Structure 1
C-alpha cells in the first residue's frame, strides 16, 4: 500500500478530515452551554426576582445555541462565528452586575453566570485556535501544491 501512487494523497485527505472533526466536536458543547444558559433562570430560580437578567440569559442562550447549531450544520461557514463566543462569555460574566443595576444578586446567580461565561469564553478560544491551525494547514498545503 505504501507504494501506491495515491497513498500520500489519501493520508493527507484523512488527516484533513480528522482535523476538521476535532473542531466540530465542540459544536455539542456550544449548543449545550447555550441551552443551559437559556434555561438557567428557571434552574437557579431567579426568573421571578430579576426579569432583566432572565431575559438576558434567555436571549444569549438562544444565540449561543444557534451558533452551536450552525457549527453542526455548516461547520465550514459557522467556524468564523467562533470568535463571538468570547465577547458573549465575557458579557455573561459581568451581566449580573450590569443588568441588575444594584439589585444585589444572590451568590448562586453570580456563580451560575460566571461559570457559563467562562465555559463560553473557553469554547470560543478553542474554536479560534482550531481555526488558526486549519488556516495554517491550508497555507502549507497551498505552498506545497504550488511547488
Structure 2
C-alpha cells in the first residue's frame, strides 16, 4: 500500500446524535512538537509526552499504539525513548510491512487504531507520526464503548 486516499469523519458528539450516529471514539488529547531537524524522526517522543500530559494519562493507560514507521531506525528510537511495550505497537503491521500511503497515512493510522481498539476492547489508543523538518504529532483516542 503506497498510494491511496482516505477520509475520517469527525464531528462533535451532539452533531453525531443529531444525525442518529453513535460515536466510536473521541479525541481525548493531541499535541505536536518539534525537535532539531538533524534528529528528524524523533518528534513523536515529545509530542506523545505532551499529549499524555494534556489527557492526564500515562503510557500505561494506552492499550494500542499506531506508530508511523518512517524507517526502521526511527521507529526503534521512538519505541526505545518512550519505553513503549512492543506488544501494543502496530499490532497488525506498520508502514514497513504494509506501505506508507503518504497523503493518506494519518487517516490510515487512525482507522487502523480505531478498529483495533474496538476489536481489543481497549479504552485508550495513540496515533503518532514524525514529519519532515523534525516535527511530530500524537493523538490520543478514547473508546466510547469501554468503561474505565
Normalised TM-score (structure 2)? 0.28
Name the one with the larger strand percent.
2
Bigger relative contact order, structure 1 or 2 (CA pairs below 8 A, ≥6 apart): 2
Name the one with the larger helix percent.
1
Whose Rg is larger?
Answer: 1
